Amino acid sequence: MATKNKNLSSYDKATIPNAKNFRFGIVVSEWNPNITEGLFQGAFDALLANGVIKENIVRWNVPGSFELVYGCKKMQQSYDMLDAVIAIGSVIQGETKHFDFVCEGVSQGIKDLNVQNDIPVIFCVLTDNTLQQSIDRSGGIHGNKGTEAAIAAIKMAQLRKEAKF
């Protein structure tokens, strides 16, 4: 397990670019809200802790993880002043193949948004086998994947800024 010996909330603040002037969008799935709200809070807190102004964070909700792709696409189109978008969702393995289809669609869709558009989209979608694994990664014993996604978003926003020359 990749996160067995890692805390997802750990990062070296000295290596994080100054995020004071960046703007971020966060698209949150309403499915599994006990998990996605924890991920959102981790991302939101990490952005604020690294200098992002609260008013520079835009949040949209979508019904489920599959809808994250459309929500992120519309956010990219609607807010051309955004520096990065974070897609937050949670898909937990069930008894059918639905899990596989949703995970594949969301991961490919977010990849496509990154290839086709200039505003990076950060993948913060938990794809766990059990509810406990999701709890452990959304503020539990393994930290918070939302925090990790926020740090990735700041770094990608900086890369986007530097690459505009």
Backbone angles phi, psi at 29, to 5 degrees: -75, 135
How far apart (Å, rounded) are the C-alpha atoms in residues 73 and 44? Answer: 20
Q: How many CB atoms lie within 10 A of CB 156?
A: 20
As annotated, the active-site residues are 98
| Tokens at 79, concatenated | 């807010």
Sheet containing 57-62, strands listed edge to edge, beginning at the edge strand earlier in sequence? 57-62, 24-29, 84-92, 121-128
The CA–CA distances, whole Å, from 123 to 14, 21, 55, 86 equal 23, 22, 22, 6
Rounded Cα distance between 30 and 59, Å, is: 12
3-class state of residue 139 by DSSP:
strand
